[in-house]
A and B are shown apart, each in its own frame.
Chain A
Amino acid sequence: MESKSYLDMELLRFSTAGSVDDGKSTLIGRMLYDSKSIFQDQYDAIEASSKKKGETSVNLALLTDGLRSEREQGITIDVAYRYFATPKRKFIIADTPGHIQYTRNMVTGASTSNLSIILIDARKGIIEQTYRHTFIASLLGIPHVVFCINKMDLVEYSEETFESIKKDTEAFVSKLGIKDINFIPISALNGDNVVNKSVNMDWYQGGTLLYLLENIHIGSDHNHVDCRFPVQYVIRPQSDEFHDYRGYAGRIAGGVFKPGDKVTALPSGFSSTIKSIDTMAGPVEEAFAPMSVTLTLEDEIDISRGDMIVRENNQPNITQDVDLMVCWLNEKPLQLRGKYAIKHTSNDVRCVVKEIKYKVDINTLHRLEDDKEIKMNDIGRISVRTTKPLFTDEYKRNRATGSLIIIDEATNETVGAGMIL
């Protein structure tokens, strides 16, 4: 790597979902291997494990196995994070098991991703889990989805097969409102169109998977329109040098802030002007999501953690009644009229579940109006009433101000993931 090229590298977070036989682990292993991101000692370790298990070739899937209990059972239980880089981008892979029991893991992995890779076995075409994975990607607002039609080697690299699966997929995806959809014919096992262009599919004119990951435009994945600054921490040094300094530290959740901007603090509604945007390296002229900065204001107004600084003429919803899609993460089902704690941006409130509207069949995407018991791995629409107002945007418009987690007050466990409607 050129010593200075890292100053232009961007970060892309993507998730992969799949079940046991669709070649997901092989695909990840292939990407790591062909991009030279596997170290010799890691390779030696999995080679030894493969031999011990009596496998004839080195099983690249073992690279993505983490815990002993997983290796013993030959399954992935939890989200595992993998890292690799090319001179253009650094990649974070959230590798999630795709079985229906692990919907909560898929949701977790998808929540921080810019892009989702969904594998389709070329021999089988669209199956139940394709709907499920695509639905979760759309629900979690992942801007880019790449369908990899895998095992093309087993269908004689047939263009007709690829086009037919692509047409079927486009038909159901059109209803889900995903911004950007891509299709690539690959063979993860042989490496066709993963990192290197396939010599077996002249008819495919598009780029390889890695080319797409390196070049897909991610600059507009954050909201740069609606100014939202959840206050995380108040900095008051009270030192001789910074005697009257009062800075509001936080991570920008949307929009672009500049010194001189007229702003309003919520919930108080008091207005002021941004005096400076500070960092230890010096003040900056503008700040945008997802930067961590410190704002100072011209006027002394009372602001603390949980408050939000916004533009006067562009405010979020200020509400105690919140409608949301929820993915349930805990063995104990969601309780109608149950009381829970909520974390939303830097705010902590309590809530009561007022209504369970419907549950979604995540394989057919049908609404189940009669079955309202939301158990672990279920997704449903609910409404809650909070003890204090939240400052929210629609999840579709802003993932940072449109998301919340639900916490069981007795166990302190995170039991639900909510996307605000």
Chain B
Amino acid sequence: MQSYNLTHLQELEAEAIYILREVASQFENPALLFSGGKDSIIVAHMARKAFWPGKIPFPLVHVDTGHNFPETIEFRDRFVENIGANLIIGSVQQSIDEGKAIEEKGYNASRNALQTVTLLDTIEEHRFDCAMGGARRDEEKARAKERFFSHRDDFGQWDPKNQRPELWNIFNGKKHMGEHFRVFPISNWTEMDVWQYILHEKIEIPSIYLAHERDVFVRDGVVMSTCDFIEQRDTEQTTRMQVRFRTIGDATCTGAVESNADTIEKIIEEVAAARTTERGTRSDDKRSEAAMEDRKKQGYF
């Protein structure tokens, strides 16, 4: 008898497409959170696949801290234009100007945590009942217990002790007025799966994922890019290094790694040999042992 087997990437893709279609069916006004990072890029790529030859039936939403790597924004705009999607931008700067969020001060100031305010405001303003994101369970221990369909109360909060059980492939998106869901179609993917998929599908990604020369300085063991948004101490000397980024977040809290990986194949080799997790370059997670858990409870993605 012929055997019917899928590879692990085909099976993960089939699962993600299934979830994207469930979201389009179960919610009236969903949106896909799109940062221009690799994880949200592959979710958007699979959203195209899920509804082809139709268009993606929901907008992409970027929660913009204003502290971006310019390469990311340039990529974002081109990507959105190419796939003919609708882009909505939620601005952290605007939240600050309106007094809804207060800018952190000091050397480690970051707008990362402020994104929660802007995100919840954007969800409310556009009446989104579901926000999809590219978070993965392998990223962080609080995310290891996240559901595919994650229920949020009318304050956007996550209650880890009161999550709905999720069985088989049956997802319960029922909710009361004012509540919404966060949905994570690539929950079961690892960093390696994402890169293998990008290679296999020949998906374009922002150039800063690939090794390049850059002005950097070292803070608390993390290589940071020099930029207008970060105050450097006198001891933090700028040097030029061959680096790449393993994750792309707010420029104030995303570190680079020294690397010569200038192709996707080389990145895969590098990831296979890596001895630290990709979030090891994120200073937002280093604030405490439960930093992610605490932010998620308040409504972070």
Residues of A within 8 A of B (CB): 1, 3, 6-11, 39-42, 45, 49, 65-69, 71, 77-83, 85, 89-90, 92, 104-105, 107-108, 111-112, 219-220, 222, 224, 232-233, 235-237, 239, 241-242, 245, 247, 249-251, 256, 278-281, 288-292, 294, 305, 329, 341, 343-346, 399-400, 403-405, 407, 412-414, 417
Q: Is the CB of A290 within 8 A of B161?
A: no
Please, how many residues of chain B have a CB less than 8 angstroms from a CB on the other chain? Answer: 68
Q: Tell which of A3, A11, A281, A403 touches B8, judged by Cβ atoms closer than 8 Å.
A: A11
CA distance A97 to B255 in the complex (A): 36
Q: Which residues of B contact A256 (CB under 8 A)?
A: 4
Q: Tell which of A66, A105, A219, A403 touches B142, judged by Cβ atoms closer than 8 Å.
A: A66
Count of A-B contacts judged by CB separation below 8 Å:
198
Q: Which residues of B contact A281 (CB under 8 A)?
A: 49
Q: Is the CB of B8 within 8 A of A89?
A: yes
Q: A6-B9, A219-B3, A414-B172 are in contact. Are A249 and B21 (CB under 8 A)?
A: yes
Q: Which residues of B contact A251 (CB under 8 A)?
A: 14, 17-18, 169
Q: Is the CB of B144 within 8 A of A81?
A: yes
Q: Is the CB of B8 within 8 A of A111?
A: no
Q: Which residues of A contact B17 (CB under 8 A)?
A: 251, 292
Q: Which residues of B contact A399 (CB under 8 A)?
A: 168
Q: Is B94 an interface residue (CB 8 A)?
A: no
Q: How far is the CB of B258 from chain A (nearest CB, A)?
A: 16
Q: Is the CB of A224 within 8 A of B4?
A: yes
Q: A3-B268, A83-B190, A232-B21 are in contact. Are A10 and B7 (CB under 8 A)?
A: yes
Q: Is the CB of A85 within 8 A of B142?
A: no
Q: Which residues of A contact B4 (CB under 8 A)?
A: 219, 222, 224, 256, 288-289
Main secondary structure of the interface of A (DSSP, over half): mixed
For the A-B complex with A232-B22, A237-B53, A239-B55 known, give 10 more contacts whose Cβ atoms are closer than 8 Å: A90-B8, A111-B167, A219-B3, A235-B53, A251-B17, A256-B4, A278-B53, A279-B49, A292-B17, A414-B172
Q: Is the CB of B6 within 8 A of A412?
A: no
Q: Which residues of B contact A7 (CB under 8 A)?
A: 7, 9, 200
Q: A39-B277, A83-B188, A232-B21 are in contact. Are A400 and B169 (CB under 8 A)?
A: yes
Q: Is the CB of A67 within 8 A of B8?
A: no
